[in-house]
Amino acid sequence: MSASSTKFRVNIITNRCKECGICIGVCPTKVLVKGDKHNEHGFRYPLPVNIERCIGCRLCEYNCPDFAIFVEVVKK
Ligand code: SF4
Ligand code: SF4
């Protein structure tokens, strides 16, 4: 799943997520929150509900141990 602001898109490969919560903790602007839906392995993946706050720092992407989240610049 993914969410976009006018500048950045945060993509979550839901079935890779192991619900560690690291991305939620490292995001400086609190874009990500714990989700309530489970992936096919039973883990609840995060949701980028506050996507308009994303500054594109990619700390979520760099810190995810399972390569489950990545950030793109939205092309105009
Ligand atoms: S790129 Fe930075 S600001 Fe955007 S969701 Fe990831 S950690 Fe948060
Ligand atoms: S850091 Fe990766 S594995 Fe951990 S909750 Fe976030 S997306 Fe899931």
Residues with Cβ within 8 Å of 51's Cβ and at least 6 positions away in sequence, in order, are 3, 4, 5, 8, 10, 31
In this structure, the residue with its CA closest to atom 4 of ligand 2 is 20
8-65 pLDDT, tens digit per residue, is 999 999 999 999 999 999 999 999 999 999 999 999 999 999 999 999 999 999 999 9
Q: Would the pTM of this model clear 0.95, i.e. be above it?
A: yes
| Token digits of residue 48 | 């980028």
Query: Which of 3.30.70.20, 3.40.190.10, 3.50.50.60, 3.40.710.10 is the CATH number of 2-73?
Result: 3.30.70.20
58 Cβ inside 6 Å of ligand 2: no
19-31 pLDDT, tens digit per residue, is 999 999 999 999 9
In this structure, the residue with its CA closest to atom 2 of ligand 1 is 57
Asked if the model's pLDDT at residue 75 lies above 90, the reply is no
